Amino acid sequence: PPSPSPSLADRLSPFDLDLHDFPRTGRGVRTLRDRAPGEVVLEWSDREVVHAERALDVRPDLAAAAEYASEVAGMPMTEEDVIACCAVLEERDEGGEGADGGCTAVWRGTLPVRVTSGLELSDSPGRWLLPRCYLSAVDATRDHAARQHARCVACLKATGGGLDDADAAARLPIGRYLRAISAVRSRAFALDGEEFRLGPPSPHVLRRDERRTVILPLCDSMNHRGGARTRIERG
């Protein structure tokens, strides 16, 4: 993995944390001093917390596509769709919501440059090294994600002010989308939207239950001993 960016290092430094490559578990967040039980380890601003409604607020193009998917196409985008699309669109725009890179900037800065995901092994010889049952599950998940991607591209095209198929697909490359979906599924938390004051849920986003899918940058990367417990609280 690459060295942490200066901005990410600056983000961790006030909390006496840094990014470290651990021998057995890989890249993670390391504390530089002893911690007392119950001590706050890291804090996030509302702007750094990524969820579907936040993504729709900062991306009018994505909000229009989500409304089209729900009201016209009759197949609403999922929370995973919205977060993954937002991450890819902001990455492609190289700036998103102003110079800070949009609402996914901090989170994207924590991800390795190269991610090996089962969803990316469709044409790789390495796929045949997987157990057959796991390979079947990976293929089914990839097919589902590819259909989700096609729907997202179609909705961006329909609301994109004259985008053709190639333009819409170029804005949301399937490889980057699959990588983003993998990151969302492996790193997101399910939080109570009311308890954490995330605002009203969008009527244009499909969710599994009352909890909200939320990305808390770096919280998924805290390296700790087995049995250690962490708690997420709203300040």
Average confidence (pLDDT) per 10 residues, the chain, 235 residues? 58 90 82 89 90 95 95 94 94 59 82 63 61 76 90 92 81 90 91 93 91 91 72 87
pLDDT at 136: 77
pTM: 0.85
pLDDT at 93: 83
Q: 189 phi and psi, to 5 degrees?
A: -115, 155
CA atoms within 13 A on the CB side of 227: 0
pLDDT at 7: 73
pLDDT at 97: 43
Please tell me the distance from the alpha carbon of residue 127 to that of residue 199, in angstroms, as a whole number: 42
Cα 223 to its chain centre, rounded Å, is 19
pLDDT at 192: 94
pLDDT at 101: 60
pLDDT at 125: 61
pLDDT at 4: 45
pLDDT at 99: 41
Domain assignments of the chain as residue spans, ordered by start: 42-221
pLDDT at 133: 74
Both tokens assigned to 124: 């790789």
Q: What is the dihedral of CA 51, 2, 8, 197, to 10 degrees?
A: 10
- Residue 220 burial class via C-beta count within 10 angstroms: exposed 0-12, middle 13-18, buried 19 and up: middle
What 3-state class would DSSP assign to 107? helix
